[in-house]
Amino acid sequence: MNRRDSIKTIVISSLASGLLLEGCLPKEKKIVYENVWKYKYGRTPEELKRDLELLNQVFFSSEELNKIRVLANLIVPPNKDGNIDDAEVPEFIEFIAKDAPSFQDILRDGLQWVDIISNKEFGKNFIDCDVTEQKSILDTVAFPEGKKTKEEVFFSTFKDLVITGYFTSEVGINDLGYKGNQPNFWDGVPDEIMKEHGFSYEKDWNYKFVDPLKRNDLAKWDDEGNLIS
């Protein structure tokens, strides 16, 4: 199983429980999942107004957003279904930073740190490093043991935000291959079960309720309870 498939498995198993951000505090997890703002299901007018106000604010500079984009692509590389930009992951992280100020120092300090360490190690900013150099920097904070350092908290939080933003987007859902509940073909109660209970379908009922071309049509009944369509 490759890295992307491992992430998919984790995300699919997390869809029911709804909690993926293990790097964040419980309060922060709640904020993230209440504000996957691309999807407005259940938002009150007041909540939508607040979302709009936040969307019209700016927190990250264009340079920081570009760095977020580069980092996010290292965590979830592009594939045939789309990429970080298609999923609007940088915009998602920008929104969360504005909506949850507790993320701001973690993210901004972390974005500064990757440049500090890349300049120290390679004499250039992080986005100017090649992929091998970039990954070597992230490997130093990707596998924390025991109590996390400030840099490890940043990468853990950032990684969880990227995965959340990507796999809650249309692109990410397509990447997962997640279909949800789908109507399937039902050809009635099996004959042996009907016979066991002394019943059988009348001939003129055949395919009235199992015609796959009419599976989305509502059944109609007459006043005496007979199926007419």
Would you list the DSSP string of 40-105? -TT--HHHHHHHHHHHTS--S-HHHHHHHHHHHHHHS--BTTB-TTTTTHHHHHHHHHHH-GGGHH
Instruction: Give tens-digit pLDDT for 208-224.
Output: 555 666 666 777 778 87
Interval 56-82 mean pLDDT: 92
C-alpha to C-alpha distance for 81 and 219, rounded to whole angstroms: 38
Q: Could you give the number of structural domains in the chain?
A: 2
pLDDT above 70 covers a percentage of the chain that reads 71
Q: How many CB atoms lie under 10 A from the CB of residue 67? A: 21
Q: Are residues 52 and 70 in the same domain?
A: yes
**Local structure of 221: helix, strand or coil:** strand
Chosen domain end from 176, 196, 214: 176
pLDDT of residue 199: 84
Residue 116's domain comprises: 3-176
Looking at the fold, whether 22 and 52 belong to one and the same domain comes out as yes
Specify whether the CB–CB gap between 142 and 158 falls below 8 A: no
In the predicted model, is pLDDT for residue 8 greater than 50? no
Q: What is the pLDDT of residue 77?
A: 93
- Other beta carbons less than 10 A from residue 47's beta carbon: 14
In the DSSP assignment, the letter for residue 137 is: H
Instruction: Name residue, tokens 């970039």.
Output: 134
- Do 17 and 91 share a domain, yes or no? yes
Quick one: which of 145, 134, 118 has its CA closest to 72? 134
User: What span, in angstroms and rounded, lies between the C-alpha atoms of 227 and 205?
Assistant: 8
21 pLDDT tier (thresholds 50, 70, 90) = very low
Same domain, 155 and 226: no
Rounded CA gap, 99 and 66, in Å?
A: 20
Query: Residue 182: its pLDDT value, please?
Result: 64
Q: Which helix (H) or strand (E) segment is 120 a member of?
A: helix 104-122
Pair 95, 189 in one domain: no
Q: Are residues 154 and 51 in the same domain?
A: yes
Nearest to 103 by CA among 168, 18, 24, 19: 24
The Cα-based distances of 160 to 23, 44, 117, 201 in angstroms read 7, 27, 22, 54
172 and 188 inside one domain: no
23 and 93 both lie in a single domain = yes
pTM: 0.63
Nearest to 28 by CA among 168, 158, 169, 151: 158
Tokens of 218: 């509502």
Residues 127 and 229 in one domain: no
127: pLDDT confidence band, cut at 50, 70 and 90? very high
- Please, which residues bridge with residue 82 across strands? 79
Regarding whether 201 and 148 lie in a shared domain, the answer is no
Between 169 and 125, residue with greater pLDDT: 125
Q: Is 43 in contact with 54 (CB distance < 8 Å)? A: no
Residues 125 and 108 in one domain: yes
pLDDT classification of 205: cutoffs 50, 70, 90 = low
What is the pLDDT, as a whole number, of residue 146?
Answer: 85
- Specify whether 37 is located in the same domain as 143: yes
